[in-house]
Amino acid sequence: MARKQGSHSDITGPKVRDAALRLIARHGCAAVSMRQIAAEVGVQAGALYNYTPDKQSLLFDLMCTHMDELLAALADAPIYGTAMARLEAFTRFHIRFHLPRRDQVFVSYMELRNLTPENFAKVEALRRQYEDALETILKDGEAEGVFALPDTRVSTLALIALLTGITNWYRANGRLSIAEVEEIYWSLVRKAVVAA
């Protein structure tokens, strides 16, 4: 803690990212100025450039970090067993991971169009990895004969849209707990995919 005054690299860095995430989720990247982010952190605008070369890199960093954390958490999640068991585990994992991360989800979906083409391609590749994890489960379930799907790829995207849509209405202090939301959505997902 004995630290030279004015030197806060390891404190200010995360604060910059937190403030940027919150403000961009709320107002959109183009609508938020570097001055606003700096004010939220409690520094002057020029100081931000010790932590990011420019605004685009800051946005890209936020989105990449989100996707990296998602894929790392997915790799650690207990998803194994039959296709049905894995689909349930994936569904619950998706909800549990995304619901407490409203801002990250918002930014990762809405600000794709503000990325440079190179950065966009990188984020899309990460997203595709995540989608493929679900698609593999669905394919396995079809092979087992336990799932019946009209189109495996489209069903993958449909289920992800269904689940991610929760972040648009869920409120932490609303009438439903995360556990209750999990039950509701697992019920819908299971019925939608199961063979008749």
Partner DNA sequence: GTCTATACCTCGATAGAC
Partner DNA sequence: GTCTATCGAGGTATAGAC
Chain residues binding a copy of itself by CB under 8 A are 26-31, 110, 113-114, 150-151, 154-155, 157-158, 160-162, 164-166, 168-169, 176, 181, 183-185, 187-189, 191-194, 196
Structural tokens at position 154: 């489209």
Residue 6 binding target from a copy of itself, DNA, none, CB below 5 to 8 Å by type:
DNA
Instruction: Establish if 14 lies at the interface with DNA (CB under 7 A).
Output: no
Handedness of CA 135, 140, 141, 142 (dihedral sign): positive
Smaller CB distance to DNA: residue 35 or 153?
35
Which residue bears the tokens 């604060």?
A: 15
Binding segment for DNA (CB under 7 A), chosen from 43-51, 97-105, 108-116, 174-182, is: 43-51
State the burial class of residue 29 (Cβ atoms within 10 Å of its Cβ: 0-12, 13-18, 19+): buried
C-alpha 156/C-alpha 86 separation (Å) is 14
Q: Where are the alpha helices (DSSP H) in the chain?
A: 9-27, 34-41, 55-76, 83-98, 102-110, 117-144, 152-164, 178-193
36 is a contact residue toward DNA (CB under 7 A): yes
CA dihedral 141, 146, 150, 154 (to 10 degrees): -30
39: partner contacted, choices DNA, a copy of itself, none (Cβ within 5-8 A by kind): none
Q: At closest approach, how far in Å is the CB of 158 from a copy of itself?
A: 6
Tell me how far apart the alpha carbons of residues 17 and 36 are, in angstroms, rounded to a whole number.
Answer: 13
- 49: Cβ–Cβ under 8 A, 6 or more apart, which residues? none
Does residue 116 interact with DNA by CB under 7 A?
no
Taking CB under 7 A as the binding criterion, the range among 31-39, 80-88, 112-120, 140-148 that sits at the site for DNA is: 31-39
Stretch that binds DNA, among 8-16, 120-128, 153-161, 184-192 (CB under 7 A): 8-16
* C-beta closer to a copy of itself: residue 47 or 99: 99
What one-character-per-residue DSSP string does 22-55 give? HHHHHH-GGGS-HHHHHHHHTS-GGGGGGT-SSH
Residues 52-111 that bind DNA (CB under 7 A): 53-56
Q: Which is nearer to DNA, 34 or 99 (CB)?
A: 34
Residues that bind DNA (CB under 7 A): 6-9, 11-12, 32-36, 38, 42-47, 49-51, 53-56
